[in-house]
């Protein structure tokens, strides 16, 4: 009986191997991990259908439309209602149509006079208020002093649980971008003195550059501006942590309220933005 089973297994081995080799590869996952569960549901849905994604983890899909173009139009409209980031197709019916090269350049904003005339604000395309903070070497730093560079501006506090959880990811992101001089990180602490924030980072073995907002404690919600003015921290960051990516003209390319799931997913976008800030050609 055992011999018979072994013979049966031996006869099955080649067909199974052949079947595995012939199986079509699974399509690549969407660029943000948050979209993966939705994409699995999408693949099971009946056509005509379309799956759409945007930087920041926003995704949506439509199915059983008149045709794939109608599904795409509906999905794009829904995506644009959810985010100010550009929305692009990832899949039409069972075809992946995602343009990875184009994805890297989605943050690009018009240059020229439009950049110089951008209104002040913290929405995409607006020029972020000209903050002033004190670097660890004692020098005063303003956002306007970083023109020509991409700035990753992060508002956080050591008292904030989601902030503490996200910071190791920022350390990994800085390491991944260590050879990219066109990108600058500013970690601005809120509602605590800078020496408290820096001491907490040292205790965690994190080497991140805190730029002192001037906050004196839990009841001090002021953030200083380069012209001597004051903003309340919640005017700029409605939750903590909050992060903004600014282009070489100080305009908001990307803003995210709360912790980002995986900053490594943004590496292509950040590198492309740095190339644009230097005035180089798209990579």
Tens digits of per-residue pLDDT, 100-154?
889 999 999 988 767 778 999 999 999 999 999 999 999 999 999 999 999 999 9
With contact defined as beta carbons under 8 Å apart, do 158 and 152 qualify?
no
pLDDT band, very low/low/confident/very high, at 278 (cuts 50, 70, 90): confident
| Span 245-259, average pLDDT | 96
What integer pLDDT is reported at residue 27 of this predicted model?
Answer: 59
Whether residues 149 and 49 share a domain: the answer is: no
Q: Would you state the pLDDT for residue 215?
A: 97
Predicted TM-score (pTM) of the model is 0.86
Find out whether 72 and 89 touch, Cβ atoms under 8 Å: yes
Residue at 59 is within a domain: yes
Where a domain ends, among 46, 64, 98? 98
185 and 61 assigned to the same domain = no
What's the confidence (pLDDT) of residue 113?
A: 67
Alpha carbons 79 and 84: distance in angstroms, whole number? 9
- Please tell me whether residues 42 and 182 are part of one structural domain: no
Who contacts 33 (Cβ-Cβ below 8 Å, separation ≥6)? 57, 261, 262, 265
Q: Are 218 and 191 in contact (CB under 8 A)?
A: yes
Which residue, among 78, 66, 108, has the nearest Cα to 272 in the 3D structure?
A: 108
Q: What is the pLDDT of residue 207?
A: 95
Radius of gyration of the chain (CA): 24
Q: Is 207 helix (H, G, I), strand (E, B) or coil?
A: coil
Q: Which domain holds residue 72?
A: 33-98
Task: Determine the pLDDT at residue 4.
Answer: 39
């Amino acid at each position: 009986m055992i011999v018979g089973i072994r013979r049966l297994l031996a006869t099955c081995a080649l067909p199974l191997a052949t079947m595995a080799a012939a199986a079509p590869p699974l399509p690549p996952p969407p660029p943000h991990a948050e979209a993966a569960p939705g994409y699995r549901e999408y693949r099971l849905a009946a056509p005509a259908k379309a799956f759409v994604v945007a930087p920041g983890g926003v995704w949506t899909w439509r199915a059983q439309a008149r045709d794939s173009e109608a599904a795409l139009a509906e999905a794009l409209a829904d995506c644009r209602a959810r985010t100010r980031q550009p929305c692009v197709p990832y899949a039409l019916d069972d075809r992946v149509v995602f343009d990875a090269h184009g994805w890297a350049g989605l943050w690009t904003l018009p240059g020229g006079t439009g950049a110089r005339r951008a209104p002040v604000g913290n929405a995409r395309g607006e020029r972020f208020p000209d903050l002033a903070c004190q670097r660890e070497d004692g020098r005063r730093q303003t956002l306007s002093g970083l023109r020509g560079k991409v700035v990753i501006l992060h508002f956080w506090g050591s008292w904030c649980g989601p902030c503490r959880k996200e910071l190791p990811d920022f350390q990994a992101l800085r390491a991944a971008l260590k050879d990219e001089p066109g990108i600058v990180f500013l970690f601005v602490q809120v509602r605590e003195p800078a020496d408290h924030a820096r001491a907490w980072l040292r205790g965690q073995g994190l080497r991140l550059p805190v730029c002192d907002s001037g906050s004196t404690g839990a009841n001090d919600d002021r953030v200083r501006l380069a012209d001597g003015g004051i903003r309340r921290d919640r005017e700029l960051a409605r939750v903590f942590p909050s992060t903004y990516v600014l282009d070489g003209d100080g305009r908001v390319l990307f803003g995210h309220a709360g912790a980002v799931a995986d900053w490594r997913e943004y590496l292509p976008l950040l590198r492309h933005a740095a190339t644009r800030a230097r005035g180089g050609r798209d990579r």
